Amino acid sequence: MAARSALPLVCGLLLALAGVELVAANASIHTVITTECSPYFSWQTLGMFFSHKRAGQPGPITRIMCCTPEEFKRLPEADRDLVPTHVAPSFTHHPRLADVYSAYNKPLAIIDWMAKNDIKEDYVLVIDADMIMRMPFTAETVGAKPGLACAAYFGYMKGVKNALAMKHVPYVAPRNDTKAGPRGRRGDQVGGFTLMYKEDLRRVGPHWLKFTEAVRFDSDAWELSGDAYSTHKGDRPWISEMYGYSYGCATADVWHTVHHTAMLYPGYEVAEPPHVLHYGLLWNVPGTDYSFDKHWHFQFDPLVCPPWQIGTNPRESRSGLFAHPPHPRSFKTQGAELLRDLMSIEVPVTLNAAFCERHRRVCPPSDELDRECSKAEQMLRDFDEAYKELEQQLPDPCRDTDVRCPQWAKAGECEKNQGFMFDSCMLSCNRCVPRGGLAAIGEAAGAGAAAQGGATTGGEAKVNAVAGKKGGRKGELATDSLARLRGGGAEHDAAVAVAAAKLRRKCTGHPDWTMDQVKECLRLAARGEVYGGGDAATDGAAGGQQHAGAGAGGGGEGGDAEKAHGAEGGSERGQRQEQQLHEDEEVLRAQLEADGAAAAAADGGTDGIGQAAADALLDEGRLLGEKVLDADRQQRGKRGGSGGAELAATRGTVKRLRLGDEADDPSLGLSRLGLAGVLMWVGALVGAFFLLPWAKRAGRASRAFMPTGASPYRKGGRDD
């Protein structure tokens, strides 16, 4: 009988699960970008809308433009009607907190847009305007569903598992998986873009804004957030909005699956073709004098019809089009290096094609328009042909880049070292399906076993995987990119980068090497030097210790998590650099607004941030300088030398592991106080439901032994 009564419940649960899967399989998607009211975002908007259509991204796309009433009045009519747009309030100058921080606008824009529009689609893709879409996102292909969103991974967000998380989301039960961060985290280490179920995003929005404000003004966030540019007490982290999103999702019980290779900064080495190119930083096209930085173009006007001011390099471009990049057929590189070079020109090629699409539609015919736009459109066609030819020659992206990947996967490194393993050992970690299907998986496994030759044990594989994580390919690629961006000549930089890439590949082909040997080899490769490997046991150990110390700034076995920050992936390092650019941008905006006419005169009479300000921005904040790195290492050594603390809690019981420097964490006292309050509340409930009735019965029984005379305190009513 009981089984029959439970049958409807079981059927209902199965139908609900089937409904969730159906939503993901047949989901419709609405893409949104958030911008401010300025020409600086107008040309980025055109590029995003053009690439959204070109990539075949399903569903509509909307610009959410955050404006003050005065800014909207100054906006040209052509810009207002440029694309489908929702206008939201601007919190760049926070009306309540007296803080200048444009990232407040992102959660505010989402809240306002969802509150004032009837969103028909099932999912929302939130993406930045300074991106070029190359491939479509769908809920089914990235694994998104109700309660589970997809985003890019940012491992430096250590505040999801330390005292910062305990301060803001202590009520969130620690996660026991590594899908988007370490075990024990109270938020996911994600950012960049997000694809989320519509109703989940509706619930997340208010929490997103609330926690952004809270972390921004948290007096300890400068030290606990992992923001490389918050180095002094009182600094307000630029990544506060990322924590606002992470904590907001955790509070709404929305978690993430991570797409490790979906986003790439142009000019960085390419593991596989990305879904989006994020052009937030300066980069050089290898082997040429061509470079590009969006921060040069605060005053660039894409809506002007000819005559234009294009110039011979992008820094000189003022209107109409950007200076044309090198032709796709001009590169002499091959394979992965050619893919990197093509990715480095795809942004300006796509942007110019986007501008020309509008110019052809709006501007009157002219010789200049026909000449320049014909050149831009032909370059886009040539790019597509070159990329298509290269794509057929590239190895299957679903592959292992090291013969030891199967052994590492068996040792559990896919879970322990996500960043390295998901990039270098995608096949062994079951992150993809190769072109040949199951047969190709068997062939790859056999080839790996043959190449391995049984020389590496599981323990050695684990050690080498850790070495790869700390000093491996991704961290050195970021170093190469920094070296190229710092200057020294495009030809020289390109040669150094190519040589370093070849040397790094040699560092992972020795199964018999120890961790210290691999680390020393990678360290020297980044400088273009060859590792002889002679007295490896001694030289390698010394070099390895030096490298690890430089990366972490601390000692002891517990420093692994901190050391891993020294080997961040290209997208994470790029995100850090872009943070500094944004902070400098806010400072420059404030200075120019205060100076008014003086700043306008300095920039040739233009409004806003002009070329002089853009140059200052580039010179002052475009890269992680050595001083900033040294300060970051010192802070890490001060905080994480003995391993840090792991804080864990469940809903019924609070259990603490007191380890390292955080054993005296003041947040533990707050947690004990909270636990005492919970216990007192439970005791009060027990007393109310059990003790009071018993006391009443006992009182009535005791009256039989009391005097029967009237009590002087009774006046005809009840006194109990």
Q: Which domains does the chain carry?
A: 17-259 (3.90.550), 276-393 (no CATH), 455-644 (no CATH)
| Tokens 């590792």 belong to residue | 531
CA 368, 371, 375, 376 dihedral sign is positive
DSSP character for 319? B
Contact 640, 561 (CB under 8 A): yes
Each residue's pLDDT tens digit, 438-458: 444 455 445 444 444 443 434
For residue 465, the model assigns a pLDDT of 39
- Helices 240-251 and 198-216 sit at what angle, rounded to 10 degrees? 130
d(CA 233, CA 633): 16
Rg of the chain over CA atoms, in angstroms? 29
Residue 415's pLDDT band (boundaries 50, 70, 90)?
A: confident
- Mean pLDDT over 165-189 rounds to 94
DSSP character for 673? H
Task: Evaluate if residue 93 carries a pLDDT over 80.
Answer: yes
CA 425, 430, 434, 440 dihedral sign is positive
Residue 416's pLDDT band (boundaries 50, 70, 90)?
A: confident
Q: What is the dihedral of CA 361, 362, 368, 371, to 10 degrees?
A: -10
Beta strands in 377-522 (DSSP E): none
CA 299, 303, 309, 314 dihedral sign is positive
Peptide bond into 89 cis (omega under 30): no
Task: Evaluate if residue 527 carries a pLDDT over 50.
Answer: yes
Task: Evaluate if residue 209 carries a pLDDT over 60.
Answer: yes
- The two tokens of residue 245 are 């999103």
For residue 657, the model assigns a pLDDT of 28
| Tokens 């419709």 belong to residue | 28
Element housing 199 (H / E): helix 198-216
Greatest alpha-carbon span in the chain: 117
- Mean pLDDT over 328-342 rounds to 93
Task: Evaluate if residue 190 carries a pLDDT over 70.
Answer: yes
- The two tokens of residue 669 are 């006292």
| Tokens 């040209």 belong to residue | 76
For residue 393, the model assigns a pLDDT of 84
For residue 547, the model assigns a pLDDT of 33
Residue 389's pLDDT band (boundaries 50, 70, 90)?
A: very high
- Mean pLDDT over 38-57 rounds to 96
For residue 622, the model assigns a pLDDT of 34
The answer to which of 256-265, 410-419, 646-655 has the lowest mean pLDDT is 646-655
Contact 497, 484 (CB under 8 A): yes
Task: Evaluate if residue 155 carries a pLDDT over 60.
Answer: yes
DSSP 406-418: HHHHHTTHHHH-H
Strand partners, 29: 123
For residue 102, the model assigns a pLDDT of 94
The answer to which of 91-100, 369-378, 426-435 has the lowest mean pLDDT is 426-435
SS3 231: coil
For residue 511, the model assigns a pLDDT of 55
Task: Evaluate if residue 385 carries a pLDDT over 60.
Answer: yes
Q: Name the more confident of 430 and 162.
A: 162
Each residue's pLDDT tens digit, 680-703: 877 777 777 777 676 667 666 555
Task: Evaluate if residue 192 carries a pLDDT over 70.
Answer: yes
Task: Evaluate if residue 568 carries a pLDDT over 60.
Answer: no
For residue 361, the model assigns a pLDDT of 96
* Long-range pairs, 98-101, Cβ under 8 A, ≥24: 99/216, 99/217, 99/236, 100/586, 100/589, 100/590, 101/216, 101/236, 101/240, 101/241, 101/586
Mark 693-718 as b/e (b = at least 16 C-beta within 10 Å). eeeeeeeeeeeeeeeeeeeeeeeeee
Residue 44's pLDDT band (boundaries 50, 70, 90)?
A: very high
Task: Evaluate if residue 408 carries a pLDDT over 60.
Answer: yes
Number of residues in the chain: 720
Task: Evaluate if residue 147 carries a pLDDT over 50.
Answer: yes
- Helices 458-471 and 541-552 sit at what angle, rounded to 10 degrees? 50
Percent of residues, the chain, with pLDDT higher than 70: 60
For residue 502, the model assigns a pLDDT of 62
Mean pLDDT of the chain: 73
For residue 130, the model assigns a pLDDT of 95
Each residue's pLDDT tens digit, 426-440: 888 887 777 655 444
CA 134, 110, 202, 190 dihedral sign is positive
For residue 423, the model assigns a pLDDT of 75
In degrees rounded to 5, what are phi and psi of residue 263?
Answer: -125, 140
**What are the Cα distances from residue 675, in Å, to 166, 646, 651, 680, 682?**
14, 18, 11, 9, 11
For residue 572, the model assigns a pLDDT of 56
SS3 304: coil
- The two tokens of residue 653 are 């019981």
d(CA 377, CA 383): 10
For residue 576, the model assigns a pLDDT of 56
d(CA 213, CA 94): 10
**What are the Cα distances from residue 180, in Å, to 35, 63, 145, 418, 574?**
27, 28, 15, 9, 19
Mark 128-165 as b/e (b = at least 16 C-beta within 10 Å). bbbbbbbebbbbeebbbbbebbbbbbbbbbbbbbbbbb
β-strands 654-657, 646-649: how paired? antiparallel
Each residue's pLDDT tens digit, 110-137: 999 999 999 999 999 999 999 999 999 9
For residue 395, the model assigns a pLDDT of 77
DSSP character for 538? I
DSSP 113-146: HHHHS---SSEEEEEESSEEE-S---HHHHT-BT
Alpha helices in 296-366 (DSSP H): 335-362
